[in-house]
Amino acid sequence: MEDNQNVKIDAIRRQLSACGQSHLLSFWDQLGPAERAGLVEQIRELDLDRIPTWVETLVLHAPKTPVGHKDFQPASSYGIAPATDAERRKYEDAVKLGKELIAAGKVAAFVVAGGQGTRLGFDGPKGNYPISPVRNKTLFQIFAETIKAVSRRYRTICPWYIMTSPMNHEATVRIFESNDFYGLDRGNVLIFQQGTLPNFGFDGKILMADKASIARSPDGHGGSIRALARSGALADMKKRGVQYLSYWQVDNPLVKLFDPLFIGLHAIDGAQMSSKAVIKNNPKEKVGNFCLVDGKMTVIEYSDLDDSLAERRNPDGSLVFRLGSIAIHIISTDFIEKLNTKGFSLPLHRAVKKIPHIDSRGNPVEPAEPNGIKLESFIFDALPMAERSIILDIDRAEQFAPTKNATGVDSAESTRVMMVERAAKWLESAGVKVPRKPDGSPDCLLEIAPSFALEPEDLRAKTDRIPPIQPGDRLYLGGT
Ligand code: UTP
């Protein structure tokens, strides 16, 4: 037995030595049997063959932007409203088809919630962050209530797939259990984990979190494509007949889940992965840019878009590269299956971060400055692999409020302001008077529960249940 283990560990030592990572076993002699087994398991999960390439191309040197020599064109999109009569008919057909697909149970919700949410600085999974302006509902609760309201409206089951990471999986499951799955049937909520990637020091050596474990982080939202297949979520979808995933990020409470127009356009055009976009506010707005690179739909990060391209304008003054990515997609399950059938991988991106670890003597190090590299893959890097992909523009005030930071730009604060503003607009469109301050912002706090209205049209039939709103009021509209 002992001999067998020695043979095994000798083989691992040789593999590690071949990729310059022998130090992972530096403390082997000090570890007990359980710790040793755990460490061996973690090493097995590393993609050892690829590590030298990652070190060379991503850790030791920052890669050059990949777009330099390629044909580079702006992507086109469907506008917020149809531009022609023919397009109007197409939008109507799409809405009809989208509704049919939802009602037939062919569409599932898919949120990626495995991130570490470091910028928000919240203790626990970001989905548990209380965000709604009046009731302080958490992000998870808002999504759950939306899914419940959609299921009820279409008299169907809308399964919900939630991706976590090993760093927040148990906490996420506990939150759902302690909230009784927010009233959803727990058989229709599947919580599964994404993979991890090792963290590197600037010298290319993998960092150790402690003597028996490798410093790791979630492998990015792009890890979802593989995790869907590996976790059994994809098989579950096939069993249920789900053909489309409505994908979003856990930090956007304004997202319009199960948007019939978006689903319908994707299906009519035979797309495999589609996206919603906002029209950029300025040339270098910090969102990815939808481009056609060598004819393929691609998202280029704002930092990688050459200034001369970013600044380029059409004769009417609008930006040539005007479509910003907001991480809302429809993904066909067939596409996910196809990607997973053959040695598929998404490109990795590097992020320079502060990474707690132990030093070569085993002492803990809490870095005050960035000290290493995390690697991650991005979901939008699957777009060029799609044979067909469409983009639908949306009004950001209606559908996009990313809660990245605690205060300032893209923060919990700005998200709440947007939630109140959207509720005010919806109410006004239904003929309800909303008090406003001299600067035009609502002079009240408003919250509309998904069960009360999923879209502005729902309010029109309910105006008799909306009390007059006075300056300074806090109004919550709930119930069905
Ligand atoms: P972000 O890029 O905003 O990262 O993720 P984050 O980890 O949430 O926050 P910071 O950067 O540490 O402050 C966008 C979305 O992708 C998910 C997040 O949970 C969020 O919904 N995500 C990100 C994953 O599911 N897994 C990952 O590995 C990374």
Q: Read off the pLDDT of residues 456-471 as tens digits, 9 standing for 90 and up.
A: 999 999 999 999 999 9
9 Cα–ligand 1 center, Å: 35
pLDDT at 72: 86
> What is the pLDDT averaged over residues 284-291?
94
Contact present, 381 and 89 (Cβ < 8 Å): no
pLDDT at 68: 60
Q: Is 218 in the pocket of ligand 1 (CB under 6 A)?
A: yes
- CA-CA distance, 465 to 480, in Å (whole number)? 11
Structure token digits, residue 391: 């983009």
To test the pocket of ligand 1, the residue of 162, 249, 411 to mutate (highest count of ligand atoms within 8 Å of its CB) is 249
Which range is least confidently modeled, 101-105, 181-185, 300-304, 447-451? 300-304
Nearest-CA residue for ligand 1 atom 7 is 115
Beta carbons within 8 Å of 478's beta carbon, 6+ residues apart: 135, 449, 451, 452
**Does residue 121 carry a pLDDT above 80?**
yes
> What is the pLDDT averaged over residues 248-267?
98
Nearest-CA residue for ligand 1 atom 25 is 114
Structure token digits, residue 36: 């040793």
Q: Any bridge partners for residue 190, and if so which?
A: 161
Q: What is the dihedral of CA 30, 31, 33, 38, to 10 degrees?
A: -160
pLDDT > 90: what percent of the chain?
92
Contact present, 312 and 321 (Cβ < 8 Å): yes
> HSE (CB half, 13 Å, CA atoms) of 403?
32
Q: Read off the pLDDT of residues 353-379 as tens digits, 9 standing for 90 and up.
A: 999 999 999 999 999 999 999 999 999
Residue 220 CA: nearest ligand 1 atom is 28
- CA-CA distance, 138 to 465, in Å (whole number)? 25
Structure token digits, residue 449: 């529960």
> What is the pLDDT averaged over residues 61-76?
77
**Does residue 385 carry a pLDDT above 90?**
yes
- CA-CA distance, 244 to 258, in Å (whole number)? 10
> What is the pLDDT averaged over residues 380-384?
98
Q: Read off the pLDDT of residues 332-359 as tens digits, 9 standing for 90 and up.
A: 999 999 999 977 889 999 999 999 999 9
- CA-CA distance, 417 to 423, in Å (whole number)? 10
> What is the pLDDT averaged over residues 162-175?
98
pLDDT at 344: 84
CB atoms within 10 A of CB 205: 18
Structure token digits, residue 19: 């990729």
Structure token digits, residue 53: 């390439």
**Does residue 419 carry a pLDDT above 80?**
yes
**Does residue 69 carry a pLDDT above 70?**
no
pLDDT at 479: 86
Residue 217 CA: nearest ligand 1 atom is 28
Q: Read off the pLDDT of residues 300-322 as tens digits, 9 standing for 90 and up.
A: 998 888 899 999 999 999 999 99
User: Where does the pLDDT of residue 65 fall: very low under 50, low under 70, confident under 90, or very high at 90 and above?
Assistant: low
Nearest-CA residue for ligand 1 atom 4 is 115
Average pLDDT of every residue of the chain: 95
User: Where does the pLDDT of residue 67 fall: very low under 50, low under 70, confident under 90, or very high at 90 and above?
Assistant: low
Beta carbons within 8 Å of 292's beta carbon, 6+ residues apart: 71, 72, 73, 74, 75, 298
pLDDT at 480: 76
Q: Is 234 in the pocket of ligand 1 (CB under 6 A)?
A: no
3-state secondary structure (DSSP) of residue 24: helix
Nearest Cα residue to 382 out of 427, 351, 337, 419: 337
Q: Is 383 exposed, middle or buried (0-12, 13-18, 19+ CB in 10 A)?
A: buried
pTM value is: 0.96
**Does residue 66 carry a pLDDT above 60?**
no
Q: Which long-range contacts (CB under 8 A, 24 or more apart) does 44-49 make?
A: 45/195, 45/196, 46/198, 46/206, 46/214, 48/15, 48/16, 48/18, 48/19, 48/21, 49/19
Q: Read off the pLDDT of residues 194-214 as tens digits, 9 standing for 90 and up.
A: 999 999 999 999 999 999 999
User: Where does the pLDDT of residue 6 fall: very low under 50, low under 70, confident under 90, or very high at 90 and above?
Assistant: confident
Phi/psi of residue 235, nearest 5 degrees = -60, -40
114 Cα–ligand 1 center, Å: 6
Q: What share of the chain is helix, strand, coil (3-state, %, to 5)?
A: 40, 20, 40
- CA-CA distance, 330 to 246, in Å (whole number)? 5
> What is the pLDDT averaged over residues 143-157?
98
> What is the pLDDT averaged over residues 88-110?
98
Contact present, 213 and 196 (Cβ < 8 Å): no
Contact present, 375 and 197 (Cβ < 8 Å): yes
